[in-house]
Amino acid sequence: MSNQIVIAGPSSQGLAVNLANYLDVQVYATENKVFPDGECYLRIDIENDTVLEDADVLIVQTTGANAAGDQNQRIMELIMMISAAKRAKASKIRVINPYFAYSRQDKAFRPGECLFATEVLKWIERAGATEFYTIDIHAETIFDAVDIPTFNLDPMEILAQIVKDRNVINPIVICPDKGAYERSRAFARYLGEDIPVVQFNKTRDVKTGEITMEGDIDVNGREVIIADDIIATGGTMARALGIAKKAGAKSIYAVGTHPLLIKNATYKLLKAGTTEIIGSDTIDSIAMQASMAEVIGKAIKKN
Ligand code: R5P
């Protein structure tokens, strides 16, 4: 069996170290910067390339934006890490991309658009990735674009456990749109037996991005959980929250696997009456309450 090594990409340092600890393997940091002209630079912080030769290299890098870098920079860095590992003759290059940026551009919604999500994944494959792991991807159909093995890992059991720990009584799960139904069902199953799931209907204007949402629900005095994959601007959650609050919810938990929390999303959600925002460490944010290290580690051990 080849030597397993974790590389901590600049955007997923905590998760990478947790994963290395779980697998009990060596972890290496990276050195990165942006040159004055805007070009990215990255090197894996190793003394010489033989460290990676014949190794089973696990590259951990989320491509969500944060204050230290946008998604485009994160993708460049990821490609640089894959390419460096390939140059150093790693035997396996397993990419762990917990939040896959551009995943919402999986379809052409208007004439003249491209399917950019698949282009990003193809680029990762072409650079030299031999396996691809992500968490709760927006649409698994994106995987059809590549030949390498792809794995979409489920965060819902761990996220549900956090809500369970709050001792919620008589809970009900709301799914904000059709696309989130399976995810919400899984969440409800992990939360307990016979927990109802109610689906709202969301429409988004493809030109303006404006959201409208409809939902008919009686949640008077109940504890409500809204489960979604991404909390970006918070618009979707805030709409669902508004309906639940108006319908008399006692408390409302906003659960999102990937808490991007762009701009004033946190303010928007708390102002709308959220009891707590619960997310995972696929993105470093104030809502990061659950680590995906074990879920990823188990999948790596299995494969
Ligand atoms: C959309 O289909 C996704 O599942 C999320 O609901 C959406 O990306 C959330 O975005 P925002 O927080 O900006 O409404």
* pLDDT tens, the chain, 303 aa long: 679 999 999 999 999 999 999 999 999 999 999 999 999 999 999 999 999 999 999 999 999 988 788 999 999 999 999 999 999 999 999 999 999 999 999 999 999 999 999 999 999 999 999 999 999 999 999 999 999 999 999 999 999 999 999 999 999 999 999 988 999 999 999 999 999 999 999 998 889 988 899 988 889 999 999 999 999 999 999 999 999 999 999 999 999 999 999 999 999 999 999 999 999 999 999 999 999 999 999 999 999
CATH code for the domain of 148 = 3.40.50.2020
Atom of ligand 1 nearest to the CA of 236: 14
* DSSP output for 245-297: HHTT-SEEEEEEEEE---TTHHHHHHHTT-SEEEEETTS-STTEEE--HHHHH
Residue 233 belongs to some domain of the structure: yes
Helix (H, G, I), strand (E, B) or coil at 136: coil
Q: 211 C-alpha to center of ligand 1: Å?
A: 10
The answer to whether residues 106 and 168 belong to one domain is no
- 113 and 30 in a common domain: yes
Total of domains in the chain: 2
Mutate to test the pocket of ligand 1, among 211, 230, 237 (most ligand atoms within 8 A of CB): 230
Residue 1's pLDDT is what? 60
**42, 191: one domain:** no
Residues 128 and 41 in one domain: yes
Tell me which residues are annotated as active site. 202
- Count CB-CB contacts under 10 A for residue 30: 22
Say whether both 13 and 150 belong to one domain: yes
Task: Identify whether residues 179 and 132 lie together within a single domain.
Answer: no
Residue 189 has which token pair? 């199953």
For residues 85 and 90, give the distance between their C-alpha atoms in angstroms, rounded to a whole number.
6
Q: Identify the burial level of 111 via C-beta atoms within 10 angstroms of its C-beta, where 0-12 means exposed, 13-18 middle and 19 or more buried.
A: exposed
Burial of 220 (0-12, 13-18, 19+ CB in 10 A): exposed
Nearest residue (by CA) to ligand 1, atom 3, is 230
5 burial (CB, 10 Å; 0-12 / 13-18 / 19+) is buried
| Cβ(232) – ligand 1 distance below 6 Å | yes
Task: Report how far apart, in Å, the C-alpha atoms of 98 and of each of 78, 166, 280 are.
Answer: 12, 26, 10
Given this model, what pLDDT does residue 101 score?
98
pLDDT of residue 216: 84
Residue range of the domain that includes 247? 156-281
Give the relative orientation of helices 13-23 and 293-302 as an angle to the nearest 10 degrees. 50
Same domain, 100 and 73: yes
Beta strands in 113-200 (DSSP E): 131-135, 150-153, 171-175, 197-199
Within a domain: 120:
yes
**287 domain-assigned:** no
CB-ligand 1 contact for 233 (6 Å cutoff): yes
Looking at the structure, tell me whether residues 26 and 122 fall in a common domain. yes
Residue closest to 19 by CA, chosen among 289, 288, 303, 300: 300
Q: Clarify whether residues 96 and 118 are in a common domain.
A: yes
Residue 286 placed within a domain: no
Whether 192 and 256 map to the same domain: the answer is yes
Supply angle C-alpha 129, 130, 132, rounded to 5: 75
> 234 in ligand 1 pocket by Cβ < 6 Å?
yes
Alpha helices (runs of H) in 1-155, residue ranges in sequence order: 13-23, 71-87, 116-127
Tokens 């069996």 found at: 1
181 and 276 inside one domain: yes
Give dist(CA 293, CA 13) in Å, integer. Answer: 11
Question: What's the pTM?
Answer: 0.95
Mark whether 150 and 178 lie in a shared domain: no
